[in-house]
Structure 1
Amino acid sequence: MTPPTIGGIRVSTDMQADRYGPDRQREDITREAERAGLVITDWVEESITGTDHARAAENRYYQLARQHQGVNVVFSHPNRVGRHVEVTVGIARTIHQLGGTVWIAGTGNLRDRRNWKNFLRDAAEAESDHADIVDRLQRGKSSKAARNLWPHGQPPYGYRIVRDDRGKSLTIEPHPETGPVVREIFDRALAGQGSPTIAAYLIQAGVTVPRPHKSSQGLWTQRHVLYILNNEAYTGRRVFTGPGGETSTVTFEGLVTPAEFRQVRQLVSGRRTNRAARTRFPALWAGHLRCGLCGGSMSVFSNYNTNKAGEQTHYINYRCRNTYNTGVSALLAGAKNCNHRRVHNHTKVDEAGWQLFVQAMTDPAVLVASLPAEASGPDHSARLAELRTQMAETVRRAVAHHLPDDVLTSALEPLRDEMRRLERDSLPPPAQPAPDMTGLAAQMTGHLAGLSGLEERREALDTWAARLVLGPEGIERVEVTVYRR
């Protein structure tokens, strides 16, 4: 069977085909194939960028070379293969190692040593040309930054670019829709809320995620929140580095003050951030389990069982941390001693617990029941008792010393005013109607269905502060926390 011949078209950007676009490349490739007596059977058209070097390792040509022994791949020019010499040559060499043959329009079959030598020369020239283009672009951007103009690229989430009449970027300004979202994120962080809590609030509020990644399924995650809280550009300044290492600071209207940003950074850096480090074992519910008897946390432990043939079986289990707190040292330390001695297989618990979590997060009634109790009014009972004692003592002294009524009234009035203020402040706030959780439940139905990886599911458990209660007989219940908007 004749091996297929693939035409490889690669344009410079996703958004546009540059002056050497698909049509011109297709013509050159077809002409080279005809000259070599080949017939193009299929085309692979994709986009590359000058900075995405990892793209070379992901292209389809390797897959095709494995599927079709002896495949021919025709490119139009070395700079259409890759931007850097190591990438350009690496792709051609890998296709050859997989049994295929690379052809370059105007150069020929690269299995010919003379053609390979010319190909290496052209690849080096392509990299030099690309480096010149990059240098000119960087110098132009650096010149704009030195004049306090926004030099290039998308602005941070919460901003938009201000352009002149010709469409050239001048500066950036807070976006009327997303700017308040950034301010809300920082305000909640300053109030002590963690990134999972903030992400959950944004999901419930229906805020569109800035740049959804695959695992987020289009919803906010703590990674989105932390990216914003870590970005110093929100103070109204960003430093750009030029090609020679020189730096320029571009200033614009900030969404937070430098003092607020430093305070948030101190709060965030003081928290435990690496969720996966809680255990080295692949246990989904690690850090989210509670004992049904004593209420203590449950730990992950492993052991090995060796049979008569010397084969080992590895077991990973959950057990209550307080089960084996015995002995004098534990007694002196005041440690709990729990009778929950059963160990639970992590695989069964992880899967069953995840299903319960999904059921809870997709049931509007359960979500409403998971709302925290509304805060009651502050307790001023101690101060009110002090005021009553002071008022009684004031009256006693006024009677004992035969003070006029107007003197007694003026002495009691500030005490009465404070008492009335504290009594009003102690009243509980008016009851709020239960919010409609139908929309959130529908969102979570699609979101959770797309989570299959361990870290993706762990992040979901963190975001909604999930807890799984395990008793001696197995799973008792799952608890989640939903925040009022």
Structure 2
Amino acid sequence: MIPWSNKNIGLGGGHMRIAVYLRLSRDNGGSTSIESQREDCYALCAKRGWDVVIQGQDVDVSGTTPHTRRPGLAGIMARRHEFDVLLVARPDRLARSVPNALEILDALSDTDTSVVASDGPLDTTVPAERAELLRAIALAERESTLIQTRIARSRLALQHAERWIGGNAPYGYRIVPDGAGGKRLAEHEETAPRMRWIVEQILTGETVTAVCDSLNAEGIPSPATTCSRAGKVSQWSPTVLRRMLRSPALLGHRTVGQGRERLSATDVAGNPVRVGPPLIDPQTWDSLQTTLESRSRTPQRPRLRSSLLLHVAQCAECDARLHYNTRRYIGDGSSNDVYRCSGGCKVLISATRLEDAVRDWALDRFGSLPFVARLPCVSPPEDSSRDRLHSDVGELARRLVGLYGPAAEAVQRQLEAHSATWEMNHPINAACYEWSFTGKTVADEWEARGPGGRREVLLALGVRVAVRPANNQRRWSPERLALSATGPGAILLQAFS
């Protein structure tokens, strides 16, 4: 039970401190506008002789939102010791959810504060009127649920209906009435033949870029130009044209999604929703997609899970990590990848040269030494799944010994995945590690592993590289680097020297 106050304000005269709260999901100047709510609340205060000490409002905020996430109401509740009555124009202005209303009333009960609605008025210090207020909020909640259900059903029916539901028409189409109060797509007399010509050029061997150059040279308006309401003139773009050629809108389908993820909208039976005639037939569509897919280029540098020197390279100015940035020279498009300070310092250095310098330094000092793998200590196993995971990690570590090339990389990926699962599900003592020899030298481990595995080698050795800013000197210089190693590799080096 919520501890309600026995104090009854009686809605009569007397000195009462009032906090006025106004809320609206959208202020459109209607009968429940913020201004009309304010007038109703202040009229009641003037009639009863009450003093308004606080006012708060929330616009574009739903009544189902918890009071802690409404700035206006949260500010009032934070000062609930300063007023006697929280005044709202109507119960549904306070909340459209009974649980939310109960939370507000519960919080106000700590200070014996009442909630009053000016349209009743309702007073929560009176049990019958408190129940009436909650009943009104329950009706508002039910009304809100019904409205949302109707809107959801209308949207679903509209999505499945074979009609155009809004927005600019795809290139090659125009919007026309469907005769039933809705809209559909029809072929555009000028752009539809041009779209077929573009498809034909691609199928006969022309590149998307060459087609764009031809269209721009002939002064043919681009889709962005024809859709611009401000008269802005834009050139044909290979990226935009390629997106158009991959869109199922060419088949007369309504589409969903963006970019390369644009797909045909489907009805309840899973069939494409047709909103216009196809510009090309399905066979031509399949040939076009096959042609575009065959021309797609694989990036020269595949995106890695993380860079080689993540957690290894740091800024000498602020000790922040250096992050890998992919860049290209404007002239020939060649790689110009760099490591950059994540803390905002002016530390920028060539990624290739930095990685090569760290590799050469580490292999020169530790390459011939036996590699020691680091495994974190974990809490004692509590179930069979932990035992199995520990056994799998050990088995993969044993299999890695003696493997080279792709086979070693495959096992290394499995080991990393198991290790990630182990770290996620088991508490780790950061100060406790188990070290074990793999049977290979550091150089052998380096050659057998991919970029992620090589980073683990550097971390196991405790390698760190601090990079100083260029300070208007040559961008690349070994003098900018301060290399060190604090892991077992350094200890082994001392033992063998």
Please report the TM-score for the alignment, with normalisation by the length of structure 1: 0.42
Please report the TM-score for the alignment, with normalisation by the length of structure 2: 0.41
